[in-house]
Chain A
């Protein structure tokens, strides 16, 4: 076989004639960076402007060179590539900047002794003043808010996932696009747009009416959050169930399997990875909610392990109160350090959730390979 191959020639192939050399983008990039630095040097240097100017110079340089050397089709291709990559970088900027800010500001709070293991119970402005004035360690932590967030979100998830998943199953498998199914779809769409504070007021009013005025517990907050979660779970599960091929359902029916067993054992396992990531998105959506929690669970500075009784803190409400009402109004820095630490923990929680969903998706995904 190798005998039919033409020997490698040092001359450039006729088929690759008229292409920019491989190193072209790097040359242009280096030139753009240098020229960009020079221009910025004249009008006053800053890194952000340098990036923007260099990116524009790079695009102009590469597209121009390509237009001269390769012709207009390739030049347009390069322009499109530059625009796509540029938009991607712009989209990434806020994300990176948020993560960077939270990391920088949050790590001192996070590594403060007892931050994850103690509450704010008994922490008064006196300690914060001492921390600022005498350099004593910042005390007080987010333990109470962490368990509040975890418990409230967990209860909300326990309410939303069964309700949402069963609704989606009804819509896809039993609804037949009938009147009830269309009504449900309509109301789910309406629910998707409910402002979160309204959901909080609804839950609060509901419990005031049913349990008694002034009922503020973690459970009320969980109900408020599930009002926000259910439409997301319904929508995403519905989409996932819809893309399970009908052939699989028919294959199961043809084996003499009942419809509900087919749904439980064939349809849901096939869609489970998508459903899991939908649920994660729903949780990520509500875990940072502040307003509905303030009106439903109130705010606490001490540990409350009971979702069904007493006011409860959560990470977002903790951050909110620490910033708005610093423990020591004279020296707000320790409070702000704790707030950033809590924000970092919140982001880490959401990331852990995402990883968890990926893991579930990996474990349950349709198997491939031989």
Chain B
């Protein structure tokens, strides 16, 4: 229940502005891949092209191919909605739906699409998703309470539960811990470790220790200067990127000598 992603020669634009240039990368199924790099180098932009969330912004477009187990996401006739139901996303700031209870937040992917689901199935899905997000024990007694009453870390795990409830092949996370305290961060990192048994996980992080702790492979993005496009500089096993990078820029960045 997880697929690989292969990106070929991808250029990403905001209108006329080329934000990310010529990225090719192969992301294995059932692995955790971390994207690191300085602010503004296009990590989020690139991540959002992997489930066609980029084009939601007016004027945003993409050139190149993104293959999900060989099928091009940007092929003719591909419905972005189908793509997004296979490739889920967790955002930087926890964003549970404020009008919904915890339970309804988990079921949002099902309910918002008007899929019929029996109460028993729904209960089972809520429990398994919350278990999967390590949140079940904390919220099982207040499933009908609003999701906004949870702590930031709990809300983020609720968003992860919401994402895995639609049973995606791939989960993309854009700095999922940057708004969280260290304890919640650890809880999410543990969770990412468990998620990779079932899902392909791609995580953007600002925190290099975090990349080193959770990821199998790391991609380093960099930008030559403001107004220039971001580029993929180096991609390899996390171990190698941190202890033995081949590029000077990577070494400078991971050793904190950047800029």
Contacts and interface: CB of A to CB of B under 8 A. Distances in A.
Interface stretch (A87-95, A115-123, A185-193, A245-253): A245-253
Interface string A339-370: 00000000000000000000000001011111
Contacts of A266: 97, 99, 112
B112 A367 contact: no
A365 to B, nearest CB: 8
Interface stretch (A194-202, A256-264, A281-289, A328-336): A256-264
Given A255-B108, A367-B98, A368-B149, A250 B56 contact: yes
Contact of A256 (B99, B101, B109): B109
B109 to A, nearest CB: 4
Nearest to B147: A367
B195 interface: no
Contacts of A47: none
Given A247-B91, A364-B99, A262 B56 contact: no
Interface of A: 176, 245, 247-258, 261-262, 265-266, 269-270, 364, 366-370
Interface of B: 51, 53, 56, 58, 81-82, 84-86, 88-89, 91, 93, 95, 97-101, 108-109, 111-114, 142, 145-146, 148-150, 159, 162-163, 166
Contacts of B85: 255-256
A84 B82 CA distance: 57
Given A248-B97, A258-B81, A261-B113, A367 B146 contact: yes
Contact of A254 (B51, B114, B146): B51
A95 B150 CA distance: 43
Contacts of B58: 176
A266 B146 CA distance: 15
Given A256-B84, A257-B112, A370 B99 contact: no
A256 B146 contact: no
B163 A366 contact: no
Contacts of B53: 250, 253-254
A265 B150 CA distance: 22
Please give me the 8 A-B residue pairs with the lowest Cβ-Cβ distance, nearest first: A256-B85, A367-B146, A366-B98, A370-B149, A254-B89, A255-B109, A247-B95, A256-B84
B145 A265 contact: no
Given A251-B91, A253-B56, A253-B84, 7 more contacts: A251-B97, A255-B163, A256-B166, A257-B109, A266-B112, A270-B97, A369-B146
B182 to A, nearest CB: 23
A369 B84 contact: no
A364 B99 CA distance: 7
A254 B145 contact: no
B93 A370 contact: no
A257 B99 contact: no
A245 B92 CA distance: 14
A256 B149 contact: no
A369 B144 CA distance: 11
27 contacts: A247-B93, A248-B97, A250-B53, A250-B91, A251-B91, A251-B95, A251-B108, A251-B162, A252-B108, A254-B89, A254-B163, A255-B112, A256-B81, A256-B109, A257-B81, A257-B112, A257-B113, A258-B113, A261-B113, A261-B114, A266-B99, A364-B99, A367-B99, A367-B149, A369-B145, A369-B146, A370-B142
Contacts of B108: 251-252, 255, 257
Contact of B88 (A247, A248, A254): A254
A255 B166 CA distance: 7
A366 B112 contact: no
A367 B150 CA distance: 12
A80 to B, nearest CB: 36
A253 B79 CA distance: 12
Contacts of A253: 53, 56, 84
B82 A256 contact: yes
Nearest to B139: A370
Contacts of A367: 98-101, 145-146, 148-149
Given A254-B84, A256-B82, A261 B95 contact: no
B89 A256 contact: no
